[in-house]
Structure 1
Amino acid sequence: MYTVLTVTLVQVLVGIFLFVNCLIIFTFLKKEVFREDTRYILFAQTLFVDSAFMVVNDMLLIWYGYQYHIHIIPCIIISSAVTLLYICTPLTLVAMCLERYVAICMPLRHADISTSRTRCFGFFVIWGISSIAPLFTVVAYVSMIPSDALFSYAVCTAEVMLGEEWLAQVRALIFQILFFCMIIIILFTYIKIMIAARAASSDNKKSTNKSLRTVILHAFQLFLCMIQFVIPYMEMAFWNGDVMLFINVRYANFVVFMLVPRCLSPLIYGLRDEKFFIVLRHYACWGFDNLSQTLPIQSKSRAG
Structure 2
Amino acid sequence: MSSGRAVLPLPGHGDTRARWSGLTDMCARDVSAGRLVEAHADADAILAEIEGTRVAPGEFWGVWAAEPPTPRVTARRSPGGAGSGVGAGGWVLDGVKAWCSGAAVCTHALVTARDDDEPRLFAVDLRHPGVSARTGGWANPGMAGTGTTAVEFRDVPARAVGARGSYLDRPGFWHGGIGVAACWLGAGMGVARPLVARSSRPDADEHALAHLGAVDVSLGGAGWALDAAAREIDVAGPAAVTDPDLVAARHRAVRVRAIVEAAVDDTIRRVGRALGAGPLAMDPRHAQAVLDATVYIRQFHAERDLAGLGRTARTHGGWARG
Shorter-chain TM-score bucket reads 0.3 to 0.5
**Which one has the bigger strand percentage?**
2
**Which one has the bigger helix percentage?**
1
Higher relative contact order (CA 8 A, sep 6+): 1
TM-score (ref. length: structure 1): 0.35
